[in-house]
Structure formats: C-alpha cells, structure tokens
C-alpha cells in the first residue's frame, strides 16, 4: 500500500492510540489477575431474559427490526427511557432524547458539534481517557482542574483562576466535562454543594456542562445525589446540562446503546452530527432493549449489580488495608459506587514503572498518568473491582502489596 500518511488530516494526526488500551492487551493473559480493564462482571448479564426479549422481537416485528430507523431513536425504546428516568425524578420528553451507540459515541457527537482546532474543554485532573481521546481527535485541548482534597468535586477557586487566566490569554473554552457520580478513574463523587456551584459557574460563564453518568445507577452505599441535569431542571431550568447515559454498566456493554438528554435545540444539532456518523443507532438492538425493559426486570439487574459490586469493593479495600505497606503516603479512595478505586503511592513511586514489575508478578492495574492530558501525575493507579472474583481480588492485592513493598525497599536502599 502506498504511504498515505502525508494525506491524513491534521485531526487524524492528533488522534493518539490509547496507551492504556495497548497495555490492556498485555494484561489479558489468562494467568494475570487484572484490575486494569473497566469490564462489568459478566455474571450480572441477564442472558436468558435477553434471549427471550430478542426472540419476541424476531417473532413479532422482524421486518421493522431489520429496517433503517430514525436518527432520534426507536419510539418504543424512547418511551421506556422516559419511564426509566422519571423513576429517578428526571422529567423528559421525546424531544429531549437522542438514542446513541453508547456514551462513547455521545462524547464524539458533542465534541464534533462544539470543537474547532485549538479550542479548550474544562475537565478534571484526572478524567476519563475516552473523553480525552474524543477531544483530541478534533484537535482541541483540555484545561485541567484539580479536585479538592475532600474529593467532592472541582477545586472551585482553581477553576475560577484557570478560567480567568485562559480567557485573558484569548483561549476559547467550549464546555465543561464532568463525571459527578463515581468518576472514572478515581471513583470520586461530587457533593450537592459542588454540583450546584458548578451549575452556577456554568450560568455565569454561559458554558454548557457535559455530564457523563455511566455509573450513576451503580450506587451501592448511601443515597443518590441529584444529577446536575436534575438540579438545573428543578431550579433555574436554563437547559445548560447535556447528560449522557448508557446501558453499558447497568445491563451489558456489548449492547453499545446509550442516550443523550438535553434541551431540544441541542438535540436537533446532535441529530445532524450523528447522521454523518451512522444514520441511526442499531434498530434491532433498540427494539430488543425496549422489549427487555418492558419486562420490568432491569431494576432487579441493577439492584443485584449494586450488591455484587458493594461486596467486591469492600473486599478490595479490606485487602488493601491488609496487604499494602502501612504508610501515610499510601492511600486509596473508598467509593460508594461505580467500578473503580484510585490508589495514591508515595511520590517516589512511578506507577508506569511499577506496572511492569506488577505484570511480572502476574497482577495488573492502570497507571494513573494516562488519565491526564497535561502534566500527568505519576504516583497513582486505577483499580477495577467489578470484574475479578473475590478470591482474585484478595490474591491480586496481595501480589500488588508485595510489589509495592519491594519498590519501597529499593528506594530506601538507593
Ligand atoms: C466516564 C465514562 N464515559 C463513557 C464511557 C463509555 O461507555 P460506553 O460503553 O457507554 O460507550 C465510559 C466507559 O468506561 C466511561 O467510564
């Protein structure tokens, strides 16, 4: 094949293969205990009920399911999504909804609509890698905002300061990206006060908030805090929040199905952006999930997912207490939901290097540096607790504790 490299777009040259996804391939060997991926536990997938729903669609409505659909999404599925949201106190109509091929497509749609080369998106330090990739693929940049020590949201003073500096330097900021519920990678959950403060910041600055909520329903301890979408809706109702939801963590990621909730004028623009990508979301899958949702069994799946993950998260934090060297500079988050926790190491430990040692001992995590675009921090790691069995969690953390203890000994010798 001729070398077409010189013909690629500037955007293509800004697209970076995710080092994390490359590394994940290494960690997928069967004898490695991997806390690296972000996979749900496969035993929560309701295989038989999903099979029955698929059969009903084929028996009753095969020709519709095999035809093109509208870009906005299948009416039956949108009716079910409206009911699902209303049970959580969110009131939406069909014109607030766009069905998408899961949240990752939504991140791309939003970036495509808002970003010109050189624009900025405000996002947390650290934040979800796939959102960073979407932003970079439109040659845009990130204005990174640290979280408070209490890990309850952005450091608002830092936000105000960085925002003012960026505006004074002539930077164009287009939106604010946040994952308020059990953030990927660190498991942080925003307090009500911080959610309201960010909403007020959005009102003042005229910026939209992109609220990414894949883990919102996976709260296994405590009571839910209203989403920013809800707070806006129940308050000033200015329509500044774009909320992304997905079936990936509440049902099964292989469905590749999610939805965007936003003001109707924004949804219309997203529809046009999506048309150039795929015309419409997979019609069969939409009808299949609508049929499944009509059985009323999704709530039960979410409840049992929460319970499983509560037990696994507790197992992991207990194992960390048992096996990690006992030092003030080794800490971890204890999230009340989601799939991940975040471990911070002493500043002399570089987790990119530690990972190679860990893989030798047949245990893997994701080094934290991949979750920053600018000035990465090098002494943290993301650990997934949803996928491994309880025995693997105990054994894997034990191996990791030994790797960390060795790294500390080596540092002390040097
Ligand atoms: C914060 C966040 N947003 C979006 C996604 C993408 O999810 P989906 O499977 O819905 O595309 C993920 C996946 O892990 C995620 O963690």
86-113 per-position pLDDT tens digit: 999 999 999 999 999 999 999 999 999 9
For the chain, what percent of residues have pLDDT higher than 70?
Answer: 97
Residues 305 and 346 in one domain: yes
Tell which residue, 113, 178, 167, has the closest CA to residue 144: 178
Q: What is the CATH number of the domain that holds 100?
A: 3.40.640.10
Q: What is the distance between the alpha carbons of residues 395 and 343, in angstroms, rounded to a whole number?
A: 17
Residues 323 and 227 in one domain: no
Question: For a pocket test of ligand 1, which of 24, 184, 190, 251 has the largest count of ligand atoms closer than 8 A to its C-beta?
Answer: 184
Q: Please give the distance, rounded to the nearest whole angstrom, from the Cα atom of residue 116 to the centre of ligand 1.
A: 23
Residues 268 and 319 in one domain: no
Mean local confidence (pLDDT), 10-26: 71
Give the DSSP letter string of 117-150: TT-EEEEEES--HHHHHHHHTTT-EEEEEEBPTT
Look at residue 21 in the predicted model and tell me its pLDDT: 65
Band of the pLDDT at 320, cuts 50, 70, 90? very high
Residues 266 and 319 in one domain: no
Q: Which of 257, 273, 296 is the last residue of a domain?
A: 296
Task: Give the phi and the psi of residue 74 in degrees, each rounded to 5.
Answer: -65, 135
Mean local confidence (pLDDT), 388-403: 98
Please give all residues whose beta carbon lies within 6 A of any atom in ligand 1, as ranges. Answer: 38, 102-104, 128, 130, 179, 184, 212, 214, 246, 248, 253, 258
| Tokens at 206, concatenated | 């005229």
Q: Which ligand 1 atom is at minimum distance from the Cα of 256?
A: 9
Mean pLDDT of the chain: 95
Q: Is the pLDDT of residue 131 over 80?
A: yes
pLDDT tens sequence across 161-178: 999 999 999 999 999 999
Mean local confidence (pLDDT), 1-15: 82
Look at residue 7 in the predicted model and tell me its pLDDT: 86
Q: What is the distance between the alpha carbons of residues 400 and 125, in angstroms, rounded to a whole number?
A: 25
Mean local confidence (pLDDT), 398-409: 98
Burial of 91 (0-12, 13-18, 19+ CB in 10 A): exposed
Q: Is the pLDDT of residue 23 over 70?
A: no
Assess if residue 55 is contained within a domain.
Answer: no
Q: What is the distance between the alpha carbons of residues 310 and 385, in angstroms, rounded to a whole number?
A: 9
Q: Is the pLDDT of residue 22 over 70?
A: no
CA 19 to chain centre: 17
Beta-sheet strands, E only, within 248-344 = 258-261, 331-332, 340-344
Q: Which of 244, 275, 296 is the last residue of a domain?
A: 296
| Tokens at 210, concatenated | 């992109």
* Residue that is written with structure tokens 């471990």 in the block: 343
Q: What is the CATH number of the domain that holds 348?
A: 3.90.1150.10
Assess if residue 54 is contained within a domain.
Answer: no
Q: Which of 248, 276, 296 is the last residue of a domain?
A: 296
Question: For a pocket test of ligand 1, which of 103, 227, 249 has the largest count of ligand atoms closer than 8 A to its C-beta?
Answer: 103
The angle at the Cα of 253, spanning 78 to 397, to the nearest 5 degrees, equals 140
Q: Please give the distance, rounded to the nearest whole angstrom, from the Cα atom of residue 103 to the centre of ligand 1.
A: 6
Residue-number span of the structural domain to which 366 is assigned:
5-46+300-413
* Number of separate domains in the chain: 2
Enter the DSSP assignment of 180. -
Q: Which ligand 1 atom is at minimum distance from the Cα of 183?
A: 1
Residues 231 and 361 in one domain: no
Q: Is the pLDDT of residue 15 over 90?
A: no
């Amino acid at each position: 094949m001729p070398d077409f490299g010189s013909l690629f777009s500037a955007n293509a040259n800004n697209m970076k293969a995710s080092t994390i996804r490359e590394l994940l391939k290494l960690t997928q060997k069967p004898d490695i205990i991997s806390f690296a991926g972000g996979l749900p536990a496969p035993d929560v997938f309701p295989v038989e009920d999903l099979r029955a729903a698929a059969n009903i669609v084929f028996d009753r409505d095969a020709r519709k399911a095999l035809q093109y659909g509208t870009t906005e999404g299948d009416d039956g599925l949108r009716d079910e999504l409206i009911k699902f949201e209303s049970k959580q106190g969110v009131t939406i109509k069909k014109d607030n909804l766009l069905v998408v091929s899961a949240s990752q497509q939504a991140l791309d749609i939003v970036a495509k609509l808002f970003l010109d080369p050189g624009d900025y998106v405000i996002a947390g330090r650290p934040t979800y890698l796939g959102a960073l990739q979407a932003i970079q693929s439109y040659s845009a940049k990130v204005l990174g905002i640290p979280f408070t020590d209490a890990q309850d949201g952005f450091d608002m003073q830092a936000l105000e300061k960085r925002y003012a500096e960026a505006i004074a330097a002539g930077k164009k900021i287009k939106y604010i990206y946040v994952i308020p519920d059990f953030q990927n990678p660190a498991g942080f959950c925003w307090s009500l006060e911080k959610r309201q403060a960010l909403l007020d910041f959005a009102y003042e600055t005229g910026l939209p908030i992109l609220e990414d909520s894949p883990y919102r329903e996976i709260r296994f301890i405590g009571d839910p805090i209203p989403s920013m979408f809800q707070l806006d809706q129940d308050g000033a109702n200015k329509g500044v929040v774009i909320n992304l939801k997905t079936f990936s963590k509440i049902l099964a990621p292989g469905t590749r199905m999610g939805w965007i909730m936003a003001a109707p004028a924004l949804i219309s623009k997203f529809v046009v952006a999506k048309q150039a990508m795929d015309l419409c979301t997979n019609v069969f899958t939409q009808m299949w999930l609508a049929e499944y949702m009509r059985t009323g069994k999704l709530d039960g799946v979410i409840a049992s997912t929460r319970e499983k993950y509560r037990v696994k998260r507790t197992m992991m934090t207990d194992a960390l207490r048992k096996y990690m060297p006992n030092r003030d500079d080794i800490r971890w988050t204890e999230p009340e939901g989601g799939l991940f926790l975040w471990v911070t190491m002493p500043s002399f430990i570089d987790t990119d290097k530690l990972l190679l040692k860990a893989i030798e001992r047949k245990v893997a995590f994701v080094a934290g540096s991949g979750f920053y675009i600018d000035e990465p921090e090098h002494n943290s790691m993301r650990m997934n607790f949803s996928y491994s069995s309880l025995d693997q969690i105990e054994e894997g953390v034990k191996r990791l504790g030994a790797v960390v203890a060795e790294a500390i000994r080596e540092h002390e010798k040097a």
